[in-house]
Structure 1
Amino acid sequence: MEWTREATIGCGSTATVSLATATHSGELFAAKSTELSHSKYLQTEQSILSKLNSPYLVKYIGFDITRENSQFYYNLFMEYLPRGTLHDEIRRHGGRLEEAMIRRYTRDILQGLEYLHESGVVHCDIKSSNILIGEKNAKISDLGCAKFFEKVSKIGDSHMVVFSGTPMFMSPEVVVGQDQGFEADIWALGCTVIEMATGKNPWPEVHDPISALYRIGFSGESPEIPRWLSQKGRDFLEICLRRNPNDRMAAKELLKHPFFEDLEFASSSSSSSPRSVFDQSVWDSFEAMESSSDHDGVSSLNSAASRMESLIGCEPNWIWDEDWITVRSNVKEESENLCDNEGVNVILDDNISVVYGLEMSFLGVHEGI
């Protein structure tokens, strides 16, 4: 397929997401690109996403390899959703969502997880910035950390565990070296519900990822459930955030929870999906209504133009990634040196998705604990 790269709409340390236009049809889509030599995780995402098809997952279109500025790039093509991510939606609503919206988006994510899990896939990185808002429903995206479920292998007398995701959203069993299975996605869903309800990560008082991992794995605590939620909402969260993974319900069972009773299925938007760069919705996504944002107390960085401007000239915000979309962290060099006899050798950020490998004896974890 011949295509033209348009404006950059997201950026990570080794990959970008750009608008793209099909040359012959003029159709608009998203191109997620990285240098071919660093494209292992993007190729993994393509391999998994190309086998899946659900209205609750971002739609796969294709891929190719291009040469640009003397470099070869791997490009993954997906549908473009101009409303952006669930994280963007939270900001547009002043920092938190009403419970009716939380219920609807949570149901959508659960239906996506039900499909993934029935297909044998663990997402491994559910959070608001990895959920896209479509015309009719939310859609799970960014399968770069995803995997087909398999048991942890043992090396010698200890576990060599490779796990991926965002530290603040990891479940206790993952942190202590057990399988990163379907139950871990349910925990992360609970954390995402807290994001929708509070506008904050599930451990807002923890400011570095190593402390977060220790607290998640060994404190015996679960994230605080927002008290303003209904009893049904609090009960739903309590189930998702049970520390023992065997006590969490599967996605299929959670969809039957009373939290979703009488849920309206009508779309909150009547706009159609964009077909070309000339569609009004595309320009609307670039120029958010800053005046209404000011009244709501939301930063004018909600405008896509401002987000793009911040990508061009500002230093990255390593504390919180709300001003840009994390596509993939630079794990190529790190993953080769994550483990040694001393423990873990890795720089972590609490909201950036990475892949970790660690010798569990570093955390004092032994088999059977």
Structure 2
Amino acid sequence: MEGKGKLVGWGTTGVVQLTSTGVVIKTPWKGEDLAQCRKDMLTEARVYQRLGRHPRLVGLLDWGPEHYTLTLEYMPNGSLRDYLKADPNGISAVQRLIWAKETAEGVQLLHSANVIYCNVGPRNFLVGGDLGLRIADFSGSSFDGSRAVEDDIFSLGSTIYTLIIGQDPFRELDSDEVETRYAARTFPDVTDQSCGDIIQGCWAGGISSAQEVVDILAAKLLTAKEKEQSARCVETGSGSS
């Protein structure tokens, strides 16, 4: 693999390197899987080109069709999954709601362009320098009705669970057992949890669109910010008396 900079990530499709100019270049793996990796990179480029620029999207700076390379803006805070693990107790409830809303906005952006993500999860949302989330890695996405939205909505519910609860659903079980429980429509109890209605709705089919999740979270976020502001006013008043 030709070095283009500092290695900052990798996956099944290719490697991501940070260059001296402050951008990242994603390059497909070489070897026997090169043809498939190039196909996946082309899919990712098509998604970026279809969506254009958006606050919930990592910015595409260049597509190199000759070598199937993507040049993208750098997200200095890494993935949402890594950020949550690094500071689990330092993230406020309001910030978690903001991120939950932003994950739903990212999924809705894709669905509005007839793109099914097929890979919704905390590892594929990146945290920008402004702490805003950007959705990334579209190599496994599908276009124009080739897949249904339900899988994305289900995974969105699991992502919001991880954000709000602070751990993955059924963390204590192996992946096969988790899949078995999901297939049997058995889910973690979220009755008394913040956003439990959204999570359960995504899992059980009561919520049918990412936009519905965005709208519900917008209302919850407004209420949470009002409560936070009221608490600050009380603290300020108590401190000055």
Measured against the shorter chain, the TM-score band is: 0.7 to 0.9
Match of 1:110 among 104, 111, 122: 104
1:191 equivalent to 2:158? Answer yes
Q: What's the secondary structure of 1:132's corresponding residue?
A: strand
RMSD (Å) for aligned C-alpha atoms: 2.4
Match of 1:216 among 141, 159, 182: 182
Q: 5 Å matches for 1:318-333?
A: none
Q: What's the secondary structure of 2:120's corresponding residue?
A: coil
**Following the alignment from structure 2 to structure 1, what is the Cα–Cα distance between the partners of residues 155 and 91?**
18
Q: What's the secondary structure of 1:61's corresponding residue?
A: strand
Which structure has the highest helix share of the two?
Answer: 2
> TM-score by structure 1 length?
0.53
Cα–Cα, structure 1 residues 207 and 95, in superposed 2: closer, same or farther, change >3 Å? farther
**Following the alignment from structure 2 to structure 1, what is the Cα–Cα distance between the partners of residues 165 and 39?**
35
CA deviations on 1:268-313 (whole Å, 9 max, x unpaired) are xxxxxxxxxxxxxxxxxxxxxxxxxxxxxxxxxxxxxxxxxxxxxx
Match of 1:129 among 123, 128, 138: 123
Q: What's the secondary structure of 1:50's corresponding residue?
A: helix
1:202 equivalent to 2:163? Answer no
Cα–Cα, structure 1 residues 140 and 13, in superposed 2: closer, same or farther, change >3 Å? closer
Match of 1:238 in 2: 200
1:56 equivalent to 2:21? Answer no
Question: What code does the residue aligned with 1:225 have?
Answer: V
Cα–Cα, structure 1 residues 97 and 198, in superposed 2: closer, same or farther, change >3 Å? farther
Cα–Cα, structure 1 residues 91 and 31, in superposed 2: closer, same or farther, change >3 Å? same
Cα–Cα, structure 1 residues 133 and 40, in superposed 2: closer, same or farther, change >3 Å? same
- Structure 2: which 5+ runs fail to align? 226-241
Question: What code does the residue aligned with 2:170 have?
Answer: W
**Following the alignment from structure 1 to structure 2, what is the Cα–Cα distance between the partners of residues 130 and 225?**
24
Q: Does the 8 A contact of 1:58 with 1:140 survive in 2?
A: yes
Shift in Å, 1:191: 0.6
CA deviations on 1:30-79 (whole Å, 9 max, x unpaired) are 1111134332112111111122121101111122267xxxxxx5321111
Match of 2:209 among 247, 250, 260: 250
**Following the alignment from structure 2 to structure 1, what is the Cα–Cα distance between the partners of residues 214 and 14?**
35
Q: Does the 8 A contact of 2:16 with 2:26 survive in 1?
A: yes
Cα–Cα, structure 1 residues 147 and 104, in superposed 2: closer, same or farther, change >3 Å? same
**Following the alignment from structure 1 to structure 2, what is the Cα–Cα distance between the partners of residues 142 and 51?**
14
Q: Could you tell me the percent identity over the aligned residues?
A: 23
Shift in Å, 1:122: 1.0
**Following the alignment from structure 1 to structure 2, what is the Cα–Cα distance between the partners of residues 186 and 8?**
32
CA deviations on 1:190-241 (whole Å, 9 max, x unpaired) are 11122223443222132133x3333221x221234285x33xx222222222
**Following the alignment from structure 1 to structure 2, what is the Cα–Cα distance between the partners of residues 49 and 191?**
25
Tell me: higher relative CO, structure 1 or 2? Use CA pairs within 8 A at least 6 residues apart. Answer: 1
